[in-house]
Amino acid sequence: MLTELVLPAPAKLNLFLHIIGRRSDGYHNLQTLFQFLDFGDRLTFVLNNSDVSLASDLDGVAPEENLIVKAARLLQQETGCQQGVNILLDKQLPMGGGLGGGSSNAATTLLGLNALWELGLTIDHLAELGLRLGADVPVFVRGHSAFAEGIGEVLTPVEPEEGWFLVVVPDAQVNTAAMYGHSDLTRDSLPIKVCAALDGEGAVLDQVSQQQRRNDFEPLVRALYPKVDKTLSLLDNLADSSIGRAMMSGSGASVFARFASREQALAAQAELSLNVSRPEIADDTSKLHSFVAHGINRSPLHTALQHAGYPVME
């Protein structure tokens, strides 16, 4: 019997993000392209017979508010499961970074405990539970790059090119709910008409050419957070314009640019470090954290579960 599982909780990027309307409950309808990164947090689950406990020290997040604990308790309520678990979180992703760290942690917990507690829930059921925890959780549960609509939960699997990214994390935490609620947010983008025969990435990209790709949060976050604005400008200067400009992910604060190879992404990272150490710009960008990662269309969580002998059930 399985008593311990160590699983990744990968980051995501929003390769574009258009906000097309606001629902009566205040949530927003989007059209966005999600791709996973081979970089993220790591969760260790050890079976116990008593309670759910989490070892982590996230600033400002009480254990009961942590999406990991919420996900575990939701599974217990839904299934009546009496088993417990000790969970250890190795946090690598910035909080409020637009990389989906909290949502990914929740999805890894749902899938990990479904295996460890032998609950046998289907992927559809787990995605539905995930949506109760956050709009971005279902894509991490389903584990495939996707064109997302609705509030982020209506997912069509797609195959964007698996490029190399330099991701830069300015020293700023952006509050997602506050950005969605801001009066200056663009929320009337024209919907992309996705044809019925959405085939791989093709149909999405035909309609959202590289030049048209944008993140509707970007102008607002740039105006409110000068560090994000400056970081985007710095990264854009290093980006390969034939591939695309630097963009923000989600509601920020992280920004990214795609490169033709890992080597080129690493070279841009080195140049960025050099640039921010220059006295004329060393002020508020000196705390830039960055990493190079591969964009991948199958979540490393699903790959790890398969290797552990627990392939995700459709």
Ligand X SMILES: C[C@@](CO)(OP(=O)(O)O)[C@H](O)COP(=O)(O)OP(=O)(O)OC[C@H]1O[C@@H](n2ccc(N)nc2=O)[C@H](O)[C@@H]1O
Ligand Y SMILES: Nc1ncnc2c1ncn2[C@@H]1O[C@H](COP(=O)(O)OP(=O)(O)O)[C@@H](O)[C@H]1O
User: Annotated active-site positions, please?
Assistant: 12, 136
Q: Which of residues 157-216 bind ligand Y (CB under 6 A)?
A: 176
What is the per-residue binding string for ligand Y in 242-261, x denoting contact by CB under 6 A? Answer: --------xx----------
Residue 145 near ligand X by CB under 6 A: no
**CB-CB contact of 207 with 192 (8 Å):** yes
**CB-CB contact of 155 with 139 (8 Å):** yes
Select the residue interacting with ligand Y from 8, 10, 40, 96 (CB under 6 A): 96
> Which residues lie below 8 Å from residue 151, measured CB to CB, with a gap of 6+?
23, 27, 28, 29, 30, 135
> In this complex, which beta carbon is closest to ligand Y, that of residue 44 or of residue 275?
44
Stretch in the footprint of ligand Y (CB under 6 A) among 45-53, 57-65, 124-132, 292-300: 57-65
User: How many of the chain's residues bind ligand X (CB under 6 A)?
Assistant: 20
> In this complex, which beta carbon is closest to ligand X, that of residue 115 or of residue 139?
139
Query: From start to end of 91-215, where are the E strands?
Result: 146-149, 154-157, 164-169
Select the residue interacting with ligand Y from 10, 102, 170, 244 (CB under 6 A): 102
Q: From the CB of 129, what's the least distance to ligand Y, in Å?
A: 16
**CB-CB contact of 81 with 75 (8 Å):** yes
Q: Which of residues 109-128 bind ligand X (CB under 6 A)?
A: none
Residue 180 near ligand X by CB under 6 A: yes
Residue 13 near ligand X by CB under 6 A: no
Residue 28 near ligand X by CB under 6 A: yes
Select the residue interacting with ligand Y from 31, 66, 114, 145 (CB under 6 A): 66
Closest-CA residue to 256 (of 27, 42, 94, 67)? 94
Select the residue interacting with ligand Y from 19, 43, 74, 99 (CB under 6 A): 99
CA neighbours within 13 Å on the CB side: how many for 158?
Answer: 25
**CB-CB contact of 147 with 208 (8 Å):** no
> Which residues lie below 8 Å from residue 48, measured CB to CB, with a gap of 6+?
83, 84, 85, 86
Residue 184 near ligand X by CB under 6 A: no
Select the residue interacting with ligand X from 68, 89, 93, 135 (CB under 6 A): 135
User: How many of the chain's residues bind ligand Y (CB under 6 A)?
Assistant: 20
Among ligand Y, ligand X, none, what does residue 67 contact (CB within 5–8 Å per kind)?
A: ligand Y
Measured CA angle at 244 (ends 241, 250), to 5 deg: 145
Q: From the CB of 173, what's the least distance to ligand Y, in Å?
A: 7
Cβ-count burial of 280 within 10 angstroms (0-12 exposed, 13-18 middle, 19+ buried)?
A: exposed
| CA dihedral for 245, 249, 254, 257, sign (positive or negative) | negative
Token pair for 200: 């791989």
The residues binding ligand X (CB under 6 A) are 14, 17, 26-28, 30, 32, 98, 100, 103, 134-136, 151-152, 176-177, 180, 250-251
The residues binding ligand Y (CB under 6 A) are 58, 61, 65-68, 93, 95-103, 105, 176, 250-251
